[in-house]
Chains A and B, each alone.
Chain A
Amino acid sequence: MTSESGPAVDAAAARATRVAGLFERARDGDRSALDDLVRELNPLLWHVVRAQGLGTEEAADVVQTTWLQLLRRLTEIRSPQALTAWLVTTAKRQAWHTRTQLRSRPADGTEVMDGLAGAEPAPADLVEASERRRVLWRHLRQLPDRCRELLRIVAFVDRPDYSAVAEALAMPRGSIGPTRGRCLAKLRELLLADPAWEIP
């Protein structure tokens, strides 16, 4: 394994520091900091919800409802890690709730479902994509559903928040289920074995 530092890791650390600052200010009542926090964390919440198979309208509503519920909880949350974990758990739980509700109404609920994997591209959609991107999708597809869901979420999580999010997603450390480490190790193995994947 190579060094842990590098530009990508540094950029992630800088982002985490920024989010931590916004969290402190938002908790103290700074409205614009809360808006900035929404902008920073919405992509993560979007992918958490979409990975549960909701359509775009339903997903947007769940993301919104998650933030609304935060309004009465914000002062109780102790750290940026706890915030991320709380948001991810709440969004996922609500997405499940909404999905169950839609499924119980098969007459009009079918068209809003994108399937469990949630908006992963069909091969035909990747004609314009770079070779590198196509290689990534090809190998990602070989992973089990739960690994794909987990990696999709983790890819949008800031590094210091991984543990809290993994716990929030009920994948305790030491469990035999898919973990970020196992899923990523598998993807890494597939990519490294593929000559079409080059490190830029």
Chain B
Amino acid sequence: MTVPPPPDDPGPFGAADDPLDEFDQRVLDELAAAFAEVDPPPADLDQRVGFAIALGRDLELEVARLSEDQLVGSGARAGPDRVRTLTFDCATLTVMVTVVALPGDRRRLDGWLAPAAPLAVDVRAGGSSEVTHTVTADETGRFVIDGVPPGLAQLTVHLPEPGRTVVTPAVVL
């Protein structure tokens, strides 16, 4: 991924475009207001982004995309048997996590790394700015994290190369 080069002409307008006048600006403002009204961002979007990027910017991090989020078993109803599977993907690693709801408003995360490797996994859960749980996956890439509180959570997997990590987006558990 590269940063787009700066435009040759730093001026505010494209050559094929007439300069904006007050009327154009009003139409654009009106359009922005119209789209903002019919399709506003989720109320917690800023908070979710803020939580996710709280891990700092100087890491050699690779971002895993959330590629699947499914309720399985008993479906969407809340209860002790409610199970959800999340899959995060990036070029280096796939992280699958099954979230099992436990009594007492806690969750258990049953995780699996592919390709399998005994890597350290950190979780920031319950919206915490600090790591709340740390485990190491076994030789088959499996790990279990118990007693996870509800709320925003993010996983970080530490790769064998020093300082290199795979991070997931924040999800609400």
Contact = CB atoms under 8 A, between A and B. Distances in A.
Interface of A: 1-6, 8-9, 12, 29, 31, 34-35, 38-39, 42-43, 46-47, 50, 56-57, 60-61, 63-65, 67-74, 76-79, 81-82, 85-86, 89-90, 94, 97-98, 101, 108, 118-121, 125, 129, 132-133, 136-137, 140, 151-152, 154-156, 159-160, 162-164, 166-168, 173-175, 179-182, 184-185, 187-188, 191, 199
A3 B53 contact: no
B169 interface: yes
A137 B34 contact: yes
Nearest first, the 4 A-B pairs at minimum CB distance are A181-B17, A6-B22, A119-B39, A155-B31
Contacts of B24: 184, 188
Given A3-B21, A69-B1, A179-B16, A164 B6 contact: yes
Interface string B26-51: 11111110111111011001101110
Contacts of A9: 20, 22, 25
Interface string B94-138: 000000000000000000000000000000000000000000000
Contacts of B70: 108
A2 B31 contact: no
Contacts of B161: none
B60 interface: yes
A90 B18 contact: no
Interface residues of A: mostly helix, strand, loop or mixed? helix
Contact of A50 (B19, B39, B167): B39
Contacts of A60: 41-42, 45, 48
B67 A72 contact: no
21 contacts: A35-B46, A56-B42, A63-B41, A64-B52, A65-B63, A67-B49, A70-B53, A72-B57, A73-B1, A77-B3, A78-B6, A81-B6, A136-B31, A154-B28, A155-B29, A155-B31, A155-B35, A156-B35, A159-B12, A166-B14, A182-B16
A137 B171 CA distance: 34
Interface residues of B: mostly helix, strand, loop or mixed? mixed
Contacts, number: 203
Nearest to B67: A101
A180 B38 CA distance: 22
B63 to A, nearest CB: 5
Contacts of A72: 57, 59-61
Given A3-B21, A42-B41, A173-B15, A94 B1 contact: no
A118 B13 contact: no
B93 to A, nearest CB: 15
Nearest to A160: B12
Contacts of A160: 12
Nearest to A83: B3
